[in-house]
Amino acid sequence: MRTINYRQEHTKSWYAATISEVTNYPELEEHLSVDICIVGAGFTGVATALTLAERGYSVALVEANRVGWGASGRNGGQLINGISGLAKIQKRYGDGIADMLWDLRWRGNDIVRERVAKYAIDCDLRDGFVETAVKPRHVKDLEEWAAEMERRQFPHRWELWDGAKTREMLGTDGYIGGFVSYHDGHLHPLNLCIGEARAAHGLGVRIFEQSPVTGIEHGARPTVVTAKGRIQADSVVLAGNAYHFLEPKQLANLVFPAGSFIMATEPLADEVIKEINPLDLAVCDMNEILDYYRLSPDQRLLYGGRCNYSGRDPRSIKEILLPRMLELYPQLQGVRIDYEWGGKIGIVLNRVPLLGRIHGNVYYCQGYSGHGVNATHILGEVTADAIAGTMETFDLFANYPHFRIPGSQWVGNQLIALGMLYFRMKDLM
């Protein structure tokens, strides 16, 4: 079995530089018995732990590094409805579940908003996300989405923008249309994860940092093992996404780590902010290999994209992202870049998140393919429901077929990179 002893602090991101609380939970150095043990204190693990604690379960949460250390604390901070692969789920199981999937796609927004309010989590939550059209076929897709919102009488504010309105509100000629959802939004993901962990800890969840899991001993009550401690539980949840290599017989070569990268400019002048994003929206284009950005509370532009599917990190994040930003916003020429960082996201070939069980009592929930903030909270609740005995939604994902790429993980990453080259060519057409 492959194990990695990370024991690392947070990457040098703008998020880590503006952290609300430096976590210092203890290392696991004892033997415990709990109802549920969760491996991984990113959004999936923390959200699941908090849900279970609210329902009265005793929970232990074990993290190899720090709470929110991985993609949960490094991502674009965009709270966007939906889960990747929902259309495939509906196609497989039929239109009879369409209404249920519609409600499910918005559930993460509700969970996050409810928890920010209930637990007073300071994570700079802002309303508003605009999906931008780059090509005429994108405009058609946005018009169809607007028609669906009307048909369902969506209760929250939304707007469909034409090309002129999009150029006016985003200060660029790079887009020909946009769809704005004000029930979506953006936030400081690391502070959200830390705040949810604090809430879970307040409800009795035992949290352990700097405690890499070395293995799981299966049985009627499986045991999670670290270098210095053990936790026995009725159920275990594997929530490490792209960063864990546990249970290789069942999980190897199903989820592949891909690099995702962001940079943060120096604080921008008020007049620049008014030109490029006066509504303070999160922005994401509709290309297959997309770019995304938003403003921070201190008026930096946080610009990300150009995911690297080969598994190799670029020599310079700034070198790959800055030309993209300046192509969209030439008026930012000469702006200083103060931060640049990256991390790994879990990619699944068919883009349907990977959920399931091993021996009936070890659950796994991973592979969000870059749609993590919302999906982790949704599927964390779905996993908590499954542990409590309500399996219907969990099984929609768990029973979906996945293809295991033979050979090493490196081979799998190269095949994914080759496949994404096709989508890159499609974006250029």
- Phi, psi torsion values for 331, nearest 5 degrees: -70, -10
Residue-by-residue pLDDT tens, the chain, 429 positions: 344 445 789 999 999 999 999 999 999 999 999 999 999 999 999 999 999 999 999 999 999 999 999 999 999 999 999 999 999 999 999 999 999 999 999 999 999 999 999 999 999 999 999 999 999 999 999 999 999 999 999 999 999 999 999 999 999 999 999 999 999 999 999 999 999 999 999 999 999 999 999 999 999 999 999 999 999 999 999 998 877 889 988 888 888 888 889 999 999 999 999 999 999 999 999 987 789 999 999 999 999 986 665 566 778 999 999 999 999 999 999 999 999 999 888 888 889 999 999 999 999 999 998 888 999 999 999 999 999 999 999 999 999 999 887 655 555 455 555 554 444 455 455
For the record, the structure tokens of 351 come out as 């883009």
Sign of CA dihedral 338, 344, 350, 351: negative
The amino acid that residue 223 corresponds to is T
pLDDT at 343: 86
Measured CA to CA, the distance from residue 11 to residue 261 in angstroms comes to 12
DSSP-derived letter for residue 310 is T
3-state DSSP helix/strand/coil % of the chain, to nearest 5: 40, 25, 35
pLDDT at 245: 82
Q: Where are the alpha helices (DSSP H) in 268-408?
A: 270-276, 317-328, 372-387, 392-398
Q: pTM of the entire structure?
A: 0.93
Cα–Cα distances (Å) from 376 to 125, 300, 392, 429, in that order, read 17, 26, 18, 33
pLDDT at 418: 53
